[in-house]
Amino acid sequence: MVDKNRSPKYTYLKDGIYYFSRLVPHDLKDHYSKPRIVQSLRTSSSVYAKRAATVLSAKLDDYWLGLRLNRQDVPASHLLVKAKEAKSSDLPNIEEALEIYFSVIGKGRQKLFFTTARRYVGYLIQCLGIRPIDEYSSKDATILREWLVNKGLSKSSLRRAFSSIKAVINFVILEHGLTCQNPFTKVYLPNNDDAKKRHAITEANRLKIQRHCLKTDDDIRWLVSLIMDSGMRLSEAAGLMNSDIYLDNGIPYITVKPHPHRRLKTASSQRKIPLIGMSLWAVNRLKSHSTGAYCFPRYASKHRCHANSASAALNKWIKTVGGQDDVIHGLRHSFRDRLRAVEAPTDLIDQLGGWSMRTVGQGYGDGYSLDILMKYMKKLEQ
């Protein structure tokens, strides 16, 4: 009878984490400082542990075979060109590189930033082991690519994994003025043709969503309405504070700016948006019901904006009202299409939506005034 609780071969479990453990062969003990090789596999999954242990064990067997063959007399050995002695690298290993990256780039970042970076670098470690960053090769990069494909990652996830790994190594190379190359930069990655393209919500569906928002009249519908006629990103709207709302001026507007609980995507994301239609209705409802600092305390708190939770709830509701392919981000696409339809200038649209500037010229000056922005926004109500 097979013991289901038994650890995979050459592994043992400690504090929920699998470790690789294998005795050094007796005839090769003089090559090692310890009689046993022990290394954390950094996983709590027996499936991944078995796979990693198999790879490590195979590499050891190949290495040990080489050591044994080197001890044998080789015919015509006096004719061989002696290989240069392997030079131990003094550069940071991949784990140290990640911590260097976090210490600078990670300042002010939310938990998700650290979680995803650790996950992707963890994939590299599971597949290739912990090495100094200059001891990975382009061949290793292709091995990692195939390992991730076999692991079941989609093409988009594969690209995100390599993007994260490249960012960590590139940062350390530049930060420390190193001369080594990043072997993960030139590896071939398949086109991201499996990614689902987000589309604009049709005008008919948008109007249906609008009617349901007015009828239900609660904080979730206020959030949807706020995005509908402002083009805000979900995280921008969910993280909005009452202090960001200005209703006492001639032109009602909101200011999108970074907060400790919610960063902005790009520098262009910081902006002012005049309030019209459903967005103005939503803000008035928020002002009459909100008692705290946050407009949507369901999704925002002192330390974090829970945009993913908001997305799941809003998308589920929108699909029941609009179409099965409709999602909250589709309202942002619709907002841009509606501005195009009233012949708003492209750079004005970019300013309202907080989209990145496409030309150097767009960065000159202070942009469009609230008066001009409101002029085009008002056309959306006609």
**What pLDDT sits at residue 192?**
67
CA dist 34 to 56, 122, 144, 181, Å?
17, 26, 30, 33
Question: What 3-state class would DSSP assign to 275?
Answer: coil
The tens digit of pLDDT for each residue in 178-214 reads 888 999 998 898 876 655 566 899 999 999 999 999 9
Helices (H) and strands (E) in the chain, counts: 13, 6
Tally the C-alpha atoms within 13 A of residue 121's C-alpha that lie toward its C-beta: 24
Beta strands in 115-274 (DSSP E): 245-246, 253-256, 271-274
> Which tokens go with 30?
């003089």
Torsion sign over Cα 110, 114, 116, 117: positive
The tens digit of pLDDT for each residue in 279-304 reads 999 999 998 887 889 999 999 888 88
DSSP single-letter state for residue 10: T
Is residue 101 a contact partner of residue 116, using CB atoms and an 8 Å limit? no
Q: What is the mean pLDDT of residues 335-341?
A: 94
| Residue 301 CB contacts under 8 Å (≥ 6 apart), including other chains | 261, 294
> Which tokens go with 78?
């006096």
Give the integer Cα–Cα distance in Å for 151 and 139.
18
Percent of the chain with pLDDT over 90: 52
* pLDDT tier for residue 95 given thresholds of 50, 70 and 90: very high
The tens digit of pLDDT for each residue in 243-275 reads 999 998 789 999 999 988 888 877 788 999 999
> Which tokens go with 262?
């919610």
**What pLDDT sits at residue 1?**
43
The pTM score is 0.60
Amino acid identity, residue 155? Answer: K
**What pLDDT sits at residue 248?**
85
Give kind and range of the element (H or E) at residue 102: helix 94-105
Give kind and range of the element (H or E) at residue 240: none
Residue positions counted in the chain: 382
CB-count exposure of residue 370 (10 Å: 0-12, 13-18, 19+): middle
